[in-house]
Amino acid sequence: MKIKIINTTTNSNETARLIAEYLVKMNLSPCVQIIPKNESFYKLNGKLENSKEFIIKIKTILANLDQCKKYILKLHNYDIPEIIITEGEILFDKYEDWFLDNTNQ
């Protein structure tokens, strides 16, 4: 089964947890992972910046992408949050069943 994986980052553990908990409670994602201790380098207003960030990995289905994006933007603490979509494929039937049981379809 094909799924979508949304990646976003934040410098706030509170924001990461807020996004994760909301998307799981609303059944927009059955599982959100927060990966700590990521260091990001980027340009902001023409200046090289770096910061410690949390990576938020959100697994969902195509039908829920717009709702996930809407709530990420609503709950995020950044003015311009990273929202990148990649594709994945579930290879284990029991995990697929659990995934679908815990996702709005």
CB of 21 closer than 8 Å to CB of 94: no
For residue range 37-78, what is the model confidence (pLDDT) as tens digits?
999 999 989 999 999 999 999 999 999 999 999 999 999 999
| CATH class in words for 2-101 | alpha beta
Token reading at 91: 């290879």
**Percent of residues, the chain, with pLDDT higher than 70:** 100
Q: Does the pLDDT of residue 11 top 80, yes or no?
A: yes
User: Looking at residue 105, what is its pLDDT?
Assistant: 77
Q: Does the pLDDT of residue 97 top 90, yes or no?
A: yes
DSSP 8-state symbol, 19: H
59: number of Cβ within 10 Å: 20
Tell me the domain boundaries of the chain. 2-101
